Structure 1
Amino acid sequence: MNDLLITQVRPWGADPVDIVVRAGVVAEIGTAAPDSGAVLAGGGRLIVPALSDAHLHLDSSCLGLPVRAYTGAPGRWGRIMNDRQHWRGAERSVAERASFTLAVAIANGATRIRTHAQVDVDSGLAKLEGVVAARERHADLADVEIVAFPQVGILREPGCADLLDAALGAGADLIGGIDPCEIDRDPVGHLDVVFGLAERHRVGVDIHLHEAGELGLFTLSLILDRVEALDMRGRVTVSHARCLCGDLPGVSAAIDRLAAAEVAITHAAGPRGWDLPLLDLAAAGVRVGVGMDGQRDFWSPYGNGDMLDRAWQLAFTNGFSSDHEIEHALAIATWGGASIVDRALRPLDRLGLRPGFAPGDPAEFLLLDSPSTTAAVMDRPVARTVVHRGAVISVDTALDGFELPDRWRSANV
C-alpha cells in the first residue's frame, strides 16, 4: 500500500480538493500541503472511483485479434458449442489472450475485475490456468477474482463436478453455475453441486441466470432459498438475472428477497429484453455491477475492453438522459462493481450517491480531463490516469500479435 497526495481534483465533478492517501486508503479530503509521499498533480481534472468490471470472460476473449465471422448455430447452446469447437484455434493461447484483454482493461481504468473461467470435460482446467497466469502477470496492477464457470452445465457430462472441485483448489475464488433448468434440466441437482462446493471450500457463488420470465423467477427463488437456508447472505451473485427484465408480477417481490438476502446482480448492459430495473434495484439496496462480458469471442463480435464505454452503453440501453441517471450508470461501472468484489463497501442505494472519497475508502481512482461525469460518459476521453492501491500505475498493452484500433489504445499517463 502507498502514500500519495493528489492535488486539485474534482470528485464526481464537485469543487477542486486535495486528496491525501495513506497506506492505500483515503485519509483526508480538503487542502493539504505535500508530505513525504508521492504527489500527483490533478490539474483540475475530474476524479471518480476506478472502473470495475464485475462480469468478464477473460478465458474466451479474442480482443485484439482479427474479427472473425460468427460460425455458431443460433441461440445460447449454439454459442456454447461454437466456443467448444473453436477455442483451441484462436491464434493465441488462453493465457496470451487473457493477458492482453486484462492489460487493456487496466489501461482503460479498471482495477477491480471479476472474470469467469470455463471448466468442463473438454477443456479441463486449461482455461482456468490461462486466466490464473494472466492474473499473476498483472498482480500489481489490478485485483482479479476468478469464478470456476461450468458453461456447458454440471450434470450433462460425468466428471464436471470433480473438475469444479479441483478448480477451487487451483486458483478459482468462487464457484459458478448456469441456467439450472434450461441447461442441466435439473435445478435441484445443479444447485446441490454449486452450493455444496461453496460450503466445502468456503467460497462465494456467482451463477449465470439467463432464464427469462416465470421460469427464471422460479430458478431465482430456488437460489434464494439456498442462500437463506445456508446463511450465505452477502456471498452470492446472480449474473444477468434476465427474469427481472420485464413487468412480471413477481419481480418486485424477487427484488425485495434479493435485498434481504444481500444477493448482488451483475450484467452486461444488454439490449431490450435484458435491461434491468436499475433504479428499483438501487432503491431496494441491491448491489449491482456491470461488466464487458465476452470480448470479441466465439459468442459475439462486440467488446473493446473499456468499461467507460460500457457505462455509456448502460446509460443508453436504459434510456437514461438526466445528469443524475447518467452519473448513476457511471457509478455502477465504478463503485457498483467494486462493492460486489468487496462487500465491505456500501451499496449504491440511491441516485446522487457519490462514493469513493470518504476517509477509509480504498484509493482506487480514475482521473479524466472532463468537465462533468456526464461529459466523461459521453466523450470517453482516451487520456486517463489510473490509481491503484494508492499508486499511479501504467500498463504496457503491447503484446505480439494483438492490436486495438487507435480509439481504444492505452493512453493512461
Structure 2
Amino acid sequence: MSNCLHISNVRPWGGEPVDVVVENGLVTDVASPADCPTLDGHGRIILPAFSDVHLHLDSSCLGLPFRTFTGEPGRWGRIMNDRENWRSAGRSVADRASFTLAVAVANGATRIRTHAQVDADSKLEKFEGVLAARERYADVCDVQIVAFPQVGILLEPGVVDLLDASLRAGADLIGGIDPCEIDRDPVRHLDAVFGLAEKHQVDVDIHLHEAGELGLFTTALILERVEALGMQGRVTISHARALCSGLPGVGATIDRIAANDVAITHAAGGGGWELPLAQLAAAGVRVGVGMDGQRDYWSPYGNSDMLDRAWQLAFTQGYRSDPEVEHALAVATWGGASVLDRNLLRLREFGAHPGFAVGDPAEFVLLDSVSPTAAVMDRPAERTVIHRGAVISVDTDIAGFEIPGRWSNR
C-alpha cells in the first residue's frame, strides 16, 4: 500500500469541498495537495470509516439460504438454539466469518470488534474460525477478537481453561455475560473475567443484558473491579440495558461510568433497548454500535452494512433533525473507533464532525449523497473505502454465498 494519498474534492461530513492529504496512515493536511497519488472525490461526502464494535462473526449465516427462526423465547432459549444448530449451518465457521467480514469491509467498515464463543461444546472451534477470517483480511481491516463465554463461565467444567487457551492463541480481550442471570454468581464470574484480564494483560468486554435494578447492581460490581484494579479505559459494557430503564440511579451510574472511562457498545435495538445517547455524550462516555448477530440462530436480522445500522439507530432513537441523525452516523463511525482506541477524541455532543484533524487515522468511506442525513436515509450502495491511507477493495464473491437483497447487485 502507498504511504501517501491526496484525496481531492471531498466534503467532510457534507461540508465545503476540500482536499485531504494522508501519509503513513494519518491525516496530515485538509487543504493543499501533496506530491503523491491523487484520488478524485468528485464532490462526494467523506466520513470516518465505519466501526462495527459489537459483532458475532462466529455465528453469522449471512449469505447462506435463509432459515426459519427456531429458538425458544428468552435469552437462554436463543443460546441453546445456537448450540443445537450451529454445526448444521452447511459451511465452516471460518467460511461464514470470512464472508461476513468481507461484506462489512466492502460496505465501509474497516474497524471491527467481534466476539467469538468459547464454551464446553464448541471449545476453541468458533474462535479459531474467527481467527482465520481475521488473518485472511488482515490487509483491509483491523479486527479485535473477544473470547466470549456465551453459555457462562461457571455452569460447565473447563470453561476458564478454554478462555485462557484462547487468550494465549491470540484473542485480544476477555468477555463475560450476565453474571447474575446466567452464572447466578457475579462475584466468581467477575473474579474469573478480571483474573484472566490481569493474567494476560488484556482488556474486558462484558455482555450485560440484565435490566433494571439488577443490571445497575451488576454494573456497580463491574465498576468496583475497574476502580480496584486501576483498569480505567480498559473495560467495555456491551448492551448496558439497565441504562435504558430511566430509573433514578441511571444518572449516577453514567457519571461513574464516565469517571472510569468505561465504554458502551450496543446493537441499536428498540423496544426498551434505546440507550440515552445524548446523556452519555454529555458525560463523555465512549459509545459505539455494531451489527451483533446476523442471520444466525439468535435472529434473522443483519446485513453487514453499518450505514444501515446507523439508520436503525436513528430510527429507534426517534431522531429526525440533521444533528440527531448525524449523531447516529457519528456513533457508527467515529464513536466506535473511540471505543477501540481510547486515545481518539470522543463524541461529547451532537453536531460533532470528527475524523479529519491532523493526526487522525486515515480510515474513510466516500459516499455520493447531498448530506450525511440523506446518506443515512438513502444508504447508497457505491462506496470508496480507505484503510490505513490507501484505497482498498475486497472480493465478496465467495462460492456458496450471496449478498442478500439490494446489495446483491454491487
Q: TM-score, normalised by structure 2?
A: 0.99
Q: What is the match of residue 214 of structure 1?
A: 213
Q: What is the match of residue 381 of structure 2?
A: 382
Worse-matched range after superposition: 293-302 or 66-75 = 66-75
Paired residues of 2:303 and 2:404 also in contact (CA < 8 A): no
Paired residues of 1:306 and 1:408 also in contact (CA < 8 A): no
Paired residues of 1:259 and 1:286 also in contact (CA < 8 A): yes
Q: What is the match of residue 25 of structure 1?
A: 26
After superposition, what is the alpha-carbon deviation per residue over 1:260-304, rounded to whole angstroms, capped at 9, x for unaligned? 000000000001200000000000000000000000000000000
Distance (whole Å) between structure 2 residues aligned to residue 175 and residue 327 of structure 1: 32
Q: 1:354 to 1:410 in 2, by over 3 A?
A: farther
* Structure 2 residue 109 is matched with structure 1 residue 110: yes
Distance (whole Å) between structure 2 residues aligned to residue 148 and residue 156 of structure 1: 17
Equivalent residues, number: 409
- The one-letter code matched in structure 2 to 1:195 is F
Worse-matched range after superposition: 343-352 or 173-182 = 343-352
Distance (whole Å) between structure 1 residues aligned to residue 175 and residue 131 of structure 2: 16
Shift of 1:405: 2.8
Q: What is the match of residue 136 of structure 2?
A: 137
After superposition, what is the alpha-carbon deviation per residue over 1:66-100, rounded to whole angstroms, capped at 9, x for unaligned? 11111121100000000001111101000000000
- The one-letter code matched in structure 2 to 1:307 is M
Distance (whole Å) between structure 1 residues aligned to residue 360 and residue 155 of structure 2: 44
- SS in structure 2 at match of 1:157: coil
- The one-letter code matched in structure 2 to 1:229 is A
* Structure 2 residue 107 is matched with structure 1 residue 74: no
After superposition, what is the alpha-carbon deviation per residue over 1:226-277, rounded to whole angstroms, capped at 9, x for unaligned? 0000000000000000000021000000000000000000000001200000
Distance (whole Å) between structure 2 residues aligned to residue 344 and residue 410 of structure 1: 38
Worse-matched range after superposition: 341-350 or 286-295 = 341-350
Distance (whole Å) between structure 1 residues aligned to residue 245 and residue 192 of structure 2: 30
Paired residues of 1:9 and 1:44 also in contact (CA < 8 A): yes
Paired residues of 1:206 and 1:236 also in contact (CA < 8 A): yes
Q: What is the match of residue 301 of structure 2?
A: 302
Q: What is the match of residue 329 of structure 1?
A: 328
1:11-410 equivalences in 2 (<5 Å): 11-32=12-33, 34-35=34-35, 37-409=36-408
After superposition, what is the alpha-carbon deviation per residue over 1:327-373, rounded to whole angstroms, capped at 9, x for unaligned? 00000000000111111101101111110000000000000001100
Shift of 1:161: 0.5
Distance (whole Å) between structure 2 residues aligned to residue 189 and residue 408 of structure 1: 45
- The one-letter code matched in structure 2 to 1:17 is V
Paired residues of 1:104 and 1:410 also in contact (CA < 8 A): no
After superposition, what is the alpha-carbon deviation per residue over 1:178-219, rounded to whole angstroms, capped at 9, x for unaligned? 000000000000000000000000000000000000000000
- The one-letter code matched in structure 1 to 2:19 is D
Paired residues of 1:382 and 1:410 also in contact (CA < 8 A): no
Shift of 1:322: 0.5
After superposition, what is the alpha-carbon deviation per residue over 1:167-188, rounded to whole angstroms, capped at 9, x for unaligned? 1011210000000000000000
Paired residues of 1:175 and 1:194 also in contact (CA < 8 A): yes
Distance (whole Å) between structure 2 residues aligned to residue 285 and residue 409 of structure 1: 39
- SS in structure 1 at match of 2:111: strand
Q: CA RMSD in A?
A: 0.8
Distance (whole Å) between structure 1 residues aligned to residue 408 and residue 356 of structure 2: 28
Paired residues of 2:294 and 2:303 also in contact (CA < 8 A): yes
- SS in structure 1 at match of 2:265: strand
Runs of 5+ consecutive residues of structure 1 not aligned to the other structure: none
- SS in structure 2 at match of 1:102: helix
Distance (whole Å) between structure 2 residues aligned to residue 131 and residue 322 of structure 1: 39
Paired residues of 1:105 and 1:306 also in contact (CA < 8 A): yes
After superposition, what is the alpha-carbon deviation per residue over 1:41-88, rounded to whole angstroms, capped at 9, x for unaligned? 001000000000010000000000111111121100000000001111
- SS in structure 2 at match of 1:13: coil
Distance (whole Å) between structure 1 residues aligned to residue 207 and residue 240 of structure 2: 8
After superposition, what is the alpha-carbon deviation per residue over 1:359-401, rounded to whole angstroms, capped at 9, x for unaligned? 0000000000011000010000000000000000000001111
Q: What is the match of residue 8 of structure 1?
A: 9
Identical-pair percentage: 74
Paired residues of 1:108 and 1:410 also in contact (CA < 8 A): no
Structure 1 residue runs of 4 or more that deviate by more than 6 Å after TM superposition: none
Paired residues of 1:82 and 1:298 also in contact (CA < 8 A): yes
Paired residues of 1:83 and 1:298 also in contact (CA < 8 A): yes
Paired residues of 1:107 and 1:410 also in contact (CA < 8 A): no
- SS in structure 2 at match of 1:30: coil
Runs of 5+ consecutive residues of structure 2 not aligned to the other structure: none
- The one-letter code matched in structure 1 to 2:389 is G
- The one-letter code matched in structure 2 to 1:220 is T
Q: 1:410 to 1:348 in 2, by over 3 A?
A: farther
- SS in structure 2 at match of 1:224: helix
Paired residues of 1:204 and 1:235 also in contact (CA < 8 A): yes
